[in-house]
Amino acid sequence: MTRPVTLDSLIDSVGTAVLDVIRAPAGLAIAVGEIVIHDSLDRRKIDEGDVILAVGVDPSDREAAALLLRAGDGKAAAVAMKLENGGPPDALIDASADAGVALLGVARDIVWGQLHALLRTACAAAGAPGEIGPGGSALGDLFALANAVSSMVGGATTIEDPRSTVLAYSSTGAPIDEPRRQTILGRQVPDDWVRRLEVDGVFRRIWAGGVVRVDYTATHPGYRNRLAVAVRAGGEILGTIWVVEGERPLDDNAEAALAEAGDIAALHLLRHRAGDDLERRRRAELLRSVLGGRTAPEVLAASLGVAATSFVTVVAFELHLEPDAALADQTVRWRAWPKDA
């Protein structure tokens, strides 16, 4: 049995760089149903919990406000639109409030088809495990994805987060060099190589987009050529994929294959992150239960893998909110427990 996906967990999964909460008059703890692409020529019935992607809708046009009101009649969860730089018109915010439907802003640089795929994947991440994604591996199984990329591109592969921490690596037997060996053993790119890549502007080129070729063979004997690409969801960088040259050169075909792999990997990294988010939320609920006296502290210690007699430091935060404003309108995303705890 799966738990219903809520609007707040959906937004957490894809990130606020992709979807921004403009107005949430009914809050974000709303069950999500289908991810629906709006078609102005198709007056399909809007169902409860729908998240409507307002493709081609001008936020300053009356059609935008009318769509929000229709969404309210159907008890939809949210309407997502691409807004102008000046923000949403007042009429649109008023329509959101009148309809009781959340208004979400979509990153300008994300393609609607990609957003639709990301949201469907995020919904699946909270539902049935083991869903097969593009590339033929289970969504979120990054080691299987690394092996798939290695076969596609033709070299040993690592998948890393934006801080150069290794999330997964291939095990296809492709040749590697000493820096790659150190990276895998330490699950982190060595500090001296990170500094070199930063000084030489390699990361800057990767973040700028496209496949980047890295060649230190002339200055570092034994070092193999590399290809790297950023993995993105809209404007948010989820991580990077690095491929070390193997028995055959990393040619134009390899670059094209890695570019395709970067698009595939976005769905997997979102699924992977969603799993981490669920674990963080589980631990946060457990912590609140312990602090509220409903659960024994020993249970929390066991969940964290520490001895019940350990000394710990507890840091607490209090949010000071304006009495007339909704919580969703005043906070971005407060994490109750750090990722690396």
Answer whether 148's CB lies under 8 Å from 172's CB: no
| Cα separation, 332 vs 341, whole angstroms | 21
| Cα separation, 322 vs 333, whole angstroms | 17
Tell me the per-residue pLDDT of 137-187, one tens digit each, with 9 for 90 and over. 444 578 888 888 998 899 999 999 988 999 888 888 888 988 898 898 888
Per-residue pLDDT of the chain (341 residues; tens, 9 = 90+): 445 788 888 887 777 767 888 999 999 888 998 899 988 777 778 899 999 999 989 998 899 999 999 999 999 999 999 988 767 888 999 999 999 999 999 887 777 877 887 787 677 655 434 444 444 444 457 888 888 899 889 999 999 998 899 988 888 888 898 889 889 888 889 999 999 999 999 999 999 989 999 998 888 888 999 999 999 876 778 899 999 998 888 999 999 999 988 887 887 787 776 555 545 555 666 677 677 776 667 666 766 667 767 777 777 776 665 554 444 444 433 433 333 43
pTM for this prediction? 0.52
Domains and CATH numbers, the chain: 7-128 (3.40.1390.20), 142-273 (3.30.450.40)
Burial code of 155-177, b = ≥16 C-beta within 10 A, e = fewer? bbbbbbbeebebbbbbebebebb
What residues contact residue 279 under an 8 Å CB cut-off, 6+ apart? none
Tell me the residue type at 277. Answer: D
| 80: three-class secondary structure by DSSP | strand
pLDDT of residue 117: 73
CA nearest to 217, candidates 179, 167, 166: 179
Answer whether 41's CB lies under 8 Å from 57's CB: no
283 secondary structure, DSSP code: H
Q: Within its chain, how far is the Cα of 93 from the centroid?
A: 27
**Mean pLDDT estimate for the chain:** 79
Q: Tell how strand 51-53 and strand 78-81 pair up.
A: parallel
Reading across the β-sheet that carries 51-53, which strands appear in turn?
19-23, 102-106, 78-81, 51-53, 35-37
Tell me the per-residue pLDDT of 52-64, one tens digit each, with 9 for 90 and over. 999 989 998 899 9
pLDDT of residue 49: 92
